[in-house]
Structure 1
Amino acid sequence: MTAGALAAPRVRLGRSARRAAHLLAVLLLVTLAAAALVDLMPGSPSAAILGPTATPEQLAAMDAEYGFDRPFPVRYLDWVGGLLTGDLGRSVQSGQPVLGTILERLPVTLEIALLAVGISLLVAVPLGVYSGARVGGPLDRVVTAGASALMSIPVFVAGVVLIYLLALTTGWFPVSGWAPLSAGLAENLRFAFLPAVALAVGETPTLLRLLRGDVVATLREDFVRTAATRGLPRRYILFRHVLRPSALPLVTMAAVVFGRLLAGSVVVESLFALPGLGGLALQSIPAKDIPVIQGLVVLVAITYVVVNMLVDLGYTVLDPRTRAR
């Protein structure tokens, strides 16, 4: 066995260790920031939550129950220990376990985010490839102008227009509410479609323009010209030789979009009255429900970490050359 063959696994192992260290550092900083939410509140957290009418006994009871009166290092280690065992405390509003409350609402936001990313990719990939292959042509001009127009439309405006056109006017989809998967896939998708499309309207142009630019650059590569001189069909060249290397930045951006939608679908969930994480955040922040807010912050951080790991794995599938780097 050659020295190069022996060195390759070491390089991959070192790269994996650096990734793991980076992701752990991100989680450490996020958990520190989430635990410090109590100390960032002006005055006593219990007084801010219970209001000016609270008695000293009520304030002392809440301090003891939620640990607001303990030093930050003790409170942080306690909270992280609970996090590792799945205990994020109890909601100040409902008294229910935070983890259970979040997991109850997570499927709604998760489904909407996944559907939005899926719709965005279904539109962006073929249009990005064909417009990049015909730069300056009629299709490219129409697609580029359409993408620029869609980028200027706020999510809530897209949602209102979709409600008017596809819910109020035609009655094809419900105006608001939610049907779980237990009610049937068709009924579930009827409620999920409009919110997902509203989110996709804002994300599709970004993915499309990114892929178009990478396709234009990839088409100038020598291996693409070689494939064309061999007489391979144009469509085969575009989707076999051009799309795979051009899709690497697209995969990264799609992962970023998914994390952003999971964390920031508040407007759409409010507009369509969805019982997701956005609605939970809207309830918890004004009520100063610190345990729930902390749980949401950590969930978003863990999601980003997991998505980044999946993106790294996706790179090795799309471009095997990255395995040796």
Structure 2
Amino acid sequence: MSRVLTSLSRRAAHLLAVLLLVTMAGTVLVNLMPGDPAITILGPTATPEQIAAFNAAHGYDQSLPVQYLQWLGGALTGDLGTSVHSDKPVVDALLERLPVTLELTVLALLLSLAAAVPMAVVAASRENSVFDRVLSKAASGLLSIPTFVLGVVLVYVLGVASGLLPVAGWAPLSAGLGENLRYVVLPVLALALAEFPSFYRLVRSDVVSTLQTDFVRTATVRGLPRWYILVRHVLRPSSLSLVTVGAVTFGRLLAGSIVVESLFGLPGLGNLALQSVPGKDIPMIQGIVVLVALAYVLINAVVDTSYAILDPRMRT
């Protein structure tokens, strides 16, 4: 019990330190950007009196440490402030945008893994075969294509040329699952195709290495079926690197796939960040940073736990 409590307290301290550092860095970096938030929001025709009133209302007339401490005091009570653009609470804006980005992230990650893992295992088990060489070249080709190019090609092929799918916009799940999927297919495909090469190459490399180990040779000599060896003895120890990369990819996609969300006109976190940074909407930027940092820390905790499940040797 004491070991568990110690581990939990360390994770909590790590989470607090990360949140403090990233939110502080976010505040400093935004304030270092050229331009005045008041002029950016009120426009170049604003009078000095209007600018002074705006700065006083939002605390921009105070020093940077005071601004951050005031924000931190509100954040500790669950109040992340109010957007200076929309005058909407930051928490409400994040909760409104999060489901869009979360759905894109989860579906793209699952689709890319569902395609990459079995293909990589089969290719590694048939190393240097035609199947292996073709998939390796295809993965290298996809790796060299930017995500926005994949998105444009998908828009033209599946949207403009064939008219099968809408090329922009969003339909929430409340509008029906079928309608939601029609709008989500293209951006999910663009993200999944972009992530597929890294997953495929990583799993293939790890499986090739695992196939050379003694315990796999022993299982082969015992006459166990090839598929059983791959699934039971090879895939599990080859998944450690995949878990780490998958977790990092999840956090990166959740942080906002700005290119894809902008290309398809999706109301997600990426689009929100794209609007907030140039407009110097400091409370909104801090809220996005907190959300992303919290996601990364929690994901890392899950990854650490999964290591012990995948490899019992790590439990000690």
TM-score tier, shorter chain, comes to over 0.9
Shift of 1:39: 3.8
Unaligned runs of 5+ in 1: 1-8
Q: Paired residue for 2:141?
A: 149
**1:143 counterpart letter in structure 2:** L
Q: Paired residue for 2:100?
A: 108
> Which of 275, 298, 304 is the matching residue for 1:312?
304
Shift of 1:11: 6.5
Which stretch has the larger CA shift, 17-26 or 295-304? 17-26
Looking at structure 1, the residues matched to 195 and 25 of structure 2 have their Cα atoms a distance apart, in angstroms, of 29
Q: Find out whether 1:58 has 2:50 as its counterpart.
A: yes
Q: Which residues in structure 2 correspond to 1:58-207 (within 5 Å)?
A: 58-207=50-199
Q: Which residues in structure 2 correspond to 1:278-289 (within 5 Å)?
A: 278-289=270-281
Shift of 1:204: 0.6
Q: Paired residue for 1:271?
A: 263
1:36 is paired with a residue whose SS is helix
Equivalent residues of 2:27, 2:282 under 8 A apart = no
Q: Which residues in structure 2 correspond to 1:241-252 (within 5 Å)?
A: 241-252=233-244
Q: Paired residue for 2:292?
A: 300
Equivalent residues of 2:154, 2:186 under 8 A apart = yes
1:232 is paired with a residue whose SS is coil
Q: Paired residue for 1:257?
A: 249
Equivalent residues of 1:148, 1:205 under 8 A apart = yes
1:117 is paired with a residue whose SS is helix
Equivalent residues of 1:207, 1:250 under 8 A apart = yes
TM-score, normalised relative to structure 1: 0.90
Looking at structure 2, the residues matched to 143 and 312 of structure 1 have their Cα atoms a distance apart, in angstroms, of 31
2:280 is paired with a residue whose SS is coil
Which stretch has the larger CA shift, 275-284 or 88-97? 275-284
Shift of 1:135: 1.3
> Which of 201, 207, 212 is the matching residue for 1:215?
207
Say if 1:255 and 1:65 are closer, same or farther in 2 by CA, change over 3 A. same
Looking at structure 1, the residues matched to 115 and 60 of structure 2 have their Cα atoms a distance apart, in angstroms, of 49
Question: RMSD of the alignment, in Å?
Answer: 2.0
Looking at structure 1, the residues matched to 35 and 276 of structure 2 have their Cα atoms a distance apart, in angstroms, of 19
Q: Paired residue for 1:229?
A: 221
Equivalent residues of 2:101, 2:269 under 8 A apart = yes
**2:295 counterpart letter in structure 1:** T
Shift of 1:41: 3.9
Say if 1:186 and 1:321 are closer, same or farther in 2 by CA, change over 3 A. farther
Shift of 1:261: 1.4
Looking at structure 2, the residues matched to 47 and 23 of structure 1 have their Cα atoms a distance apart, in angstroms, of 36
Deviations 1:42-64 (A, max 9, x none): 47543454343222322222222
Q: What is the aligned-residue identity percentage?
A: 62
Deviations 1:256-294 (A, max 9, x none): 111111224111111111111122122222322222122
1:96 is paired with a residue whose SS is coil
**1:199 counterpart letter in structure 2:** L
Deviations 1:60-100 (A, max 9, x none): 22222211122333322221222222211111111111111
**1:130 counterpart letter in structure 2:** V
How many residue pairs were aligned? 316
Looking at structure 2, the residues matched to 128 and 172 of structure 1 have their Cα atoms a distance apart, in angstroms, of 30
Unaligned runs of 5+ in 2: none
Q: Paired residue for 1:5?
A: none
TM-score, normalised relative to structure 2: 0.93
Which stretch has the larger CA shift, 23-32 or 299-308? 23-32
**2:23 counterpart letter in structure 1:** T
**1:52 counterpart letter in structure 2:** P
Equivalent residues of 1:34, 1:298 under 8 A apart = no
Q: Paired residue for 2:230?
A: 238
**2:180 counterpart letter in structure 1:** N
Looking at structure 2, the residues matched to 223 and 92 of structure 1 have their Cα atoms a distance apart, in angstroms, of 61
2:235 is paired with a residue whose SS is helix
